[in-house]
Amino acid sequence: MNVSHQYDDTVVIPSLKHQLGLFPGTDVKPAKAGTFFSAPEITLDYDMYIVGFSSGKDSIASLLHLLDLGVDRSKMELWHHDVDGREGSTLVDWRFTESYCKKFAEAFGIPIYFSWLEGGFEGEMLKENSFSKPHWVETPDGLVKLERDTERAQPGTRLKFPQVSASLQTRWCSSALKIDVGRRALTNQSRFNGQKVLFITGERREESPNRAKYNQLEAHVCDRRSGRLARHIDAWRPVLEWSEEQVWDILRRHGVSAPVPYRLGWGRSSCMKCIFNSPEIWATLREYFPGSLDDIAGYERRFNTTISRSKISIVDISKQAKPLVIHDHEALLQAVKKEYDLPIIVPSSQWVMPAGAFSHGSCGPS
């Protein structure tokens, strides 16, 4: 059976029939109760709303949509996973990301909690016949260190960059530095026990073929509503079916200035040196941020493995395209600073569509 047809038959159609009430009187059952391929509107009767906040436009749009729907800010919190960790590495992320997230949360009066894998991206990449490092999780009661269970886990070796792939086993940056960190942050805080929690993320179908298949509402992997802990956690992707135009429109309506990467011309606001960067973006980094590719090139030589599956070094890839021409000098100056000092909210008359809007070709899919 064709894979896409199989997915339609086993997930999409059953989910749609469940939503339309077509199951009564038939022997057709949904793939899993509470799972909906399309759920743009849901009943917002949760005790807590956690927004996975990457600092990109889609996570911002998800938060703004919750506010438009009337969700009480006192029940909301933002979660951000520090990709480089807090131990000194500056290998891949934007320098200002932590500061930007804090300033954004302050502007909206919503608490933000950070979490990270000790050593971050670089530390995990350099793992050699050893265990992964502990996780660190900020909570309302302070910072918590979550050690690894070395009795049951097996030591492992990476010594290569995450590979450009939809598989989270080879593209381990998403799984090890974000998904797993979030999972442990949820399962190691007793404040979620006996509560009904909505976990919100900002994926959109038009971003990639893989995301086009996501369910919009489903029980989170950490859900234990029927267990002893009575931890009810749903996962909702409120902007999953939105177009990019809708995303920019809600930022414009709320006066949220476009994040710096989009202002520079990036089509995505993930890591500065994301493995999915196009040759154009690598060329832009080489042009405007001299030396920014040196560490990556050094690791490629050390591992004898390139980020590119075509086995072309990052330096040579950066020479395959012309760099973007950056006209937003205010954003360019901010890009090299650790402290974020630009406005989060701007008057509607000053809101400007960023250069990177609708430029899907500048960065690869996720």
3-state helix, strand, coil in the chain (%, to 5): 35, 15, 50
Taking residues 258-263, report their average pLDDT: 98
Is pLDDT above 70 for 31?
no
Structure tokens belonging to residue 256: 């949220």
Residue range 64-97, pLDDT digits in tens: 999 999 999 999 999 999 999 999 999 999 999 9
* pLDDT score for 262: 98
* pLDDT score for 16: 43
Residue range 223-244, pLDDT digits in tens: 999 999 999 999 999 999 999 9
Is pLDDT above 70 for 6?
no
* pLDDT score for 164: 82
Q: How far apart are the C-alpha atoms of 289 and 283, rounded to whole Å?
A: 10
For residue 12, give the amino acid letter.
Answer: V
CA 299 from chain centre, in angstroms, equals 25
* pLDDT score for 21: 40
Assign 12 a pLDDT band (cuts: 50, 70, 90).
very low
CB neighbours (10 Å) of residue 93? Answer: 21
Pairing of strands 232-236, 196-200: parallel
Q: How far apart are the C-alpha atoms of 54 and 51, rounded to whole Å?
A: 9
Assign 28 a pLDDT band (cuts: 50, 70, 90).
very low
Is pLDDT above 90 for 288?
yes
Residue 69: Cβ-neighbour burial (10 angstroms; 0-12, 13-18, 19+): exposed
Domains of the chain in sequence order = 1-32 (no CATH), 33-245 (3.40.50), 257-354 (no CATH)
Residue range 340-360, pLDDT digits in tens: 999 999 998 999 999 999 986
Taking residues 7-28, report their average pLDDT: 41
* pLDDT score for 309: 86
Name which residue leads in pLDDT, 297 or 171: 297
Is pLDDT above 70 for 11?
no
Q: Are 118 and 126 in contact (CB under 8 A)?
A: no
Assign 7 a pLDDT band (cuts: 50, 70, 90).
very low
* pLDDT score for 360: 64
Q: Which residues, in sequence order, are CB contacts of 317 under 8 Å at separation 6+? A: 279, 282, 308
Specify the residue for token string 């797993």.
180
* pLDDT score for 170: 81
* pLDDT score for 109: 98
Q: How far apart are the C-alpha atoms of 64 and 70, rounded to whole Å?
A: 10
CA nearest neighbour of 45 among 15, 1, 75: 75
- pTM value is 0.89
* pLDDT score for 167: 76
* pLDDT score for 150: 82
Structure tokens belonging to residue 231: 């931890």
Q: How far apart are the C-alpha atoms of 207 and 176, rounded to whole Å?
A: 21
Q: How far apart are the C-alpha atoms of 120 and 88, rounded to whole Å?
A: 9
Assign 22 a pLDDT band (cuts: 50, 70, 90).
very low
Assign 177 a pLDDT band (cuts: 50, 70, 90).
very high
Round the average pLDDT of the chain to a whole number and report it: 90
CA nearest neighbour of 205 among 2, 9, 12: 12
CA nearest neighbour of 75 among 113, 111, 114, 103: 111
Assign 154 a pLDDT band (cuts: 50, 70, 90).
confident
Name which residue leads in pLDDT, 310 or 91: 91
* pLDDT score for 247: 98
